Amino acid sequence: MVAVSLASMGNDVHVTVRSAIGEIAHTRCAVQPTPGTPGNPAWPGNCTAFVNLTPPN
Task: Report pLDDT digits (tens) over 2-53.
Answer: 999 999 999 999 999 999 999 999 999 999 999 999 999 999 999 999 999 9
Predicted local confidence at residue 42, as pLDDT: 97
Predicted local confidence at residue 57, as pLDDT: 79
Half-sphere exposure of 25 (CA within 13 A, CB side): 11
Predicted local confidence at residue 44, as pLDDT: 96
Domain boundaries in the chain? Answer: 3-52
Dump the DSSP string for 2-34. -EEEEEEETTEEEEEEE-TTS-EEEEEEE-SSP
Q: Rounded to whole angstroms, what are the CA distances from 44 to 1, 17, 19, 48, 55?
A: 26, 16, 20, 8, 26
Predicted local confidence at residue 1, as pLDDT: 63
